[in-house]
Amino acid sequence: MTPIYLSAAILLLANAGVGAWRIWHGPTSADRMVAAELITTTTVAVLLVLSALVEQPVLIDVALLFALLAAVAMANFVTRTWTLLREDSQARDEAGHD
């Protein structure tokens, strides 16, 4: 079973690499944020696979924390970063494109 788990973990990590490319490339901040959430989900999956591989139940706790806290990061982004920034005219532009 071990090679299957390891291959699955490597495949998931490669998926996270695709997410990293999207974070780097953008072009809007919403794209970057969703890509970060993709990496979170992938990390949760890698942790679950690793917990089966090394038989350490504590890794499931780490995965639980990531799954729970992803919601906080996203809620933060929509309420506090993606705002109608002040009075600047290009502010809305920056929220959409930076």
Partner 1 sequence: MTALTVGFDLLLSAALLWLAWQALFLPLRFAAVVHFMAFNLLMALVWVRLEAPDVALAEAAIGAGVTGALLLTALGRLPGGGSRRAHPRRWHRYWRYLAIFSAFVSAVWLAWSVQHLPRPGLTTEIMAALDTTGVSHAVTAVLLNIRAIDTLLEVAVMLGAVMLVWSLGPALRPFAPATALPGLPALSRLLHPLFLLVPTYLLWRGAHAPGGAFPAGAVLGAGGILLLLADGVSWMQQPRYNLLLRLLLIAGLALFVVVGLGGLLLTGTFLAIPQAQAKAVILAVEVATALSIALMLMALYLYGEPGR
Q: What are phi and psi of 24, to 5 degrees?
A: -70, -40
- How distant is the alpha carbon of residue 23 from its chain centre? 10
Q: Residues 10-49: x/- map of binding to partner 1 (CB under 8 A)?
A: x--xx-xx-xx--xx-x--x--xx-xx--xx--x--xx--
Smallest distance, Å, CB 13 to partner 1? 5
- Give the side-chain half-sphere CA count within 13 A for 65: 5
Instruction: Quote the CA–CA distance of 24 and 55 in Å, as a whole number.
Output: 35
CB contact at 8 A, 32 and 24: no
Binding residues for partner 1 (CB under 8 A): 2-3, 6-7, 9-10, 13-14, 16-17, 19-20, 23-24, 26, 29, 32-33, 35-36, 39-40, 43, 46-47, 50, 56, 58-59, 61-62, 64-66, 68-73, 75-86, 88, 90-92, 94-95, 98
